[in-house]
């Protein structure tokens, strides 16, 4: 499985640079285990969140540190997106459209 993300600041119309993102998977015991992450580049992207982690199906979540990016202007200090990987051999892309008072996400391609 490969997993990427792209964070766009819809208030400015620009990529959100420097947003820390943590990737976790839910274990069989029901706890969350960090398996990857990174920081968005100048284009707002992280192309490989897995950092060589093994391919697994099941629940995963991305936590975006939006508070550090938005500062005092933001309402959401972090955004957590939980999703299910049913086909671990496929590429998964999870974009985040972000503004100080809202966000949207979807499964990209």
10-25 pLDDT per residue, tens: 999 999 999 999 999 9
Q: Is residue 103 a contact partner of residue 10, using CB atoms and an 8 Å limit?
A: no
- 53: pLDDT strictly greater than 80: no
Entry pTM? 0.94
Cross-strand bridge partners of residue 97: 8, 104
Query: What rounded mean pLDDT belongs to the chain?
Result: 95
- Class of the CATH domain delimited by 2-105: mainly beta
Distance CA 49, CA 45 (A): 10
Q: Where are the domains of the chain?
A: 2-105
**Average pLDDT score over residue span 81-105:** 96
Over 90: is that where the pLDDT of 51 sits? no
């Amino acid at each position: 499985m490969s997993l990427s993300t792209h964070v766009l600041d819809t208030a400015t119309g620009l990529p959100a640079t420097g947003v820390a993102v943590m990737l976790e998977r839910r274990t069989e015991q029901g706890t969350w285990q960090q398996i990857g992450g990174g920081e968005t580049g100048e284009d707002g992207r992280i192309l490989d969140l897995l950092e060589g982690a093994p391919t697994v199906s099941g629940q995963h979540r991305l936590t975006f540190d939006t508070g550090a990016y938005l500062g005092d202007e933001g309402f959401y200090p972090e955004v957590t997106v939980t999703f299910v990987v049913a086909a671990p051999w496929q590429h998964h892309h999870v974009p985040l459209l972000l503004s100080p008072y809202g966000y949207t996400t979807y499964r990209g391609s």
